[in-house]
């Protein structure tokens, strides 16, 4: 069975490599928001906004970390592809094969992320070189494995959320509005726009019980070594909790959706 999904992973790499120039262009243009963010926060810091948690260099490093985690863990149109398969009836051919659909799509997701990461390495290297004076690499060797462990948790949470959204296509013809609404909240609450520790303590405490901070903010905080051991342990436990919850939700929605699809003669 493992060999089967290894083959699926390989097919995913081949399929993704066909669109390598799309990946190259996407990676190149992904640094434009980072450049804009750097200019905005430089203006904020120069005007003495009273940010006690961050100076300009640490803010730049934070957003470099966000870009890195985003490249490593965020789905690339997976929900749109899965929803399209359901809407256009292509899912029927997959139902006749001895595949676990969730594992099948997870294998393809892994292939997409691996190739996208390889394609974006030169771009990330250029960003790190250009902004090197603002980067302070982790002092503790244990930071790196903890960071990549948290990135893996982030990738699973984001994939399972994307998969669950795509499953709604079994009931709703057009899921794009729901995807847009959820991702609007996710973009803001995951730490993509600004570090979440700039929010009031009460708001941060409430957010810690949602999956969003563990998608970007938490891994980046580990990379910046801004968390103590207890906070890292708590964060990893919350990540594991949300991986289980979102994974179970994805599996449940698939089972319910397929049952409805077959009952309606799809």
Q: Would you give the distance in Å from CA 101 to the centre of its chain?
A: 20
Residue 63: pLDDT band with limits 50, 70, 90: confident
Q: What does the pLDDT look like over 195-205, one tens digit per residue?
A: 898 888 898 89
Whether 189 contacts 207, CB under 8 Å:
yes
Q: What percent of the chain has pLDDT over 70?
A: 82
Q: What does the pLDDT look like over 218-237, one tens digit per residue?
A: 999 999 999 999 999 999 99
- The residue assigned the tokens 């847009």 is 180
The pTM (predicted TM-score) of the whole model is 0.86
Whether 207 contacts 213, CB under 8 Å:
yes
| pLDDT(13) > 60 | no
Q: What does the pLDDT look like over 76-89, one tens digit per residue?
A: 777 888 888 888 87
| pLDDT(115) > 80 | no
| pLDDT(5) > 60 | no
Q: How would you class 72 by CB atoms within 10 Å of its CB: exposed for 0-12, middle for 13-18, buried for 19 or more? A: buried
Across the chain, mean pLDDT equals 82
Residue 154: pLDDT band with limits 50, 70, 90: very high
Q: Which of residues 76 and 149 earns the better pLDDT score? A: 149
Straight-line distance from the first to the last Cα atom of the chain, in angstroms, rounded to the nearest whole number: 27
CA distance 52 to 49: 9
Spell out a b/e string for 14-53, using b for 16 or more CB atoms within 10 Å of the CB, else e.
eebeeeeeebeebbeebbeebeebbeebeeebeeeeebee
pLDDT of the residue at 211: 95
The phi, psi pair for 199, rounded to 5°, reads -75, 160
Among 8, 11, 12, 10, which residue's Cα sits nearest to residue 100? Answer: 8
Average pLDDT, integer, range 125-133? 77
- The residue assigned the tokens 């909240």 is 185
CA distance 31 to 39: 13
Average pLDDT, integer, range 169-191? 86
Q: Which of residues 9 and 39 earns the better pLDDT score? A: 39
Whether 51 contacts 44, CB under 8 Å:
yes
Q: Which of residues 6 and 190 earns the better pLDDT score? A: 190
């Amino acid at each position: 069975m493992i060999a089967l999904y290894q083959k699926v992973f390989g097919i995913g790499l081949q399929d993704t490599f066909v669109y390598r120039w799309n990946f190259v262009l996407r990676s190149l243009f992904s640094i434009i928001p980072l450049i804009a963010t750097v200019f905005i926060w430089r203006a904020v810091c120069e005007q003495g906004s009273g940010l006690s948690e961050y100076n300009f260099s640490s803010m730049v490093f934070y957003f470099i970390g966000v870009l890195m985690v985003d490249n490593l863990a965020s789905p690339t149109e997976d929900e749109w592809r899965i929803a399209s398969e359901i809407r256009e009836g292509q899912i029927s051919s997959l139902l006749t094969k001895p595949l676990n659909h969730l594992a099948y799509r997870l294998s393809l997701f892994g292939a997409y992320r691996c190739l996208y990461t390889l394609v974006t390495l030169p771009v990330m290297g250029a960003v790190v070189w250009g902004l090197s004076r603002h980067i302070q690499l982790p002092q503790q060797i244990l930071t790196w494995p903890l960071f990549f462990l948290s990135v893996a948790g982030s990738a699973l949470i984001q994939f399972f959320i994307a998969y669950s959204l795509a499953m709604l296509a079994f009931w709703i013809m057009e899921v794009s509005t729901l995807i847009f609404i959820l991702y609007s909240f996710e973009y803001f609450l995951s730490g993509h726009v600004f570090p979440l520790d700039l929010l009031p303590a009460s708001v941060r405490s409430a957010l810690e019980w949602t999956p969003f901070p563990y998608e970007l903010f938490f891994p980046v905080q580990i990379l910046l070594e801004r968390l103590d051991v207890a906070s890292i342990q708590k964060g990893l436990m919350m990540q594991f909790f949300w991986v289980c919850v979102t994974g179970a939700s994805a599996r449940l929605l698939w089972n319910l959706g397929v049952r409805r699809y077959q009952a309606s003669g799809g």
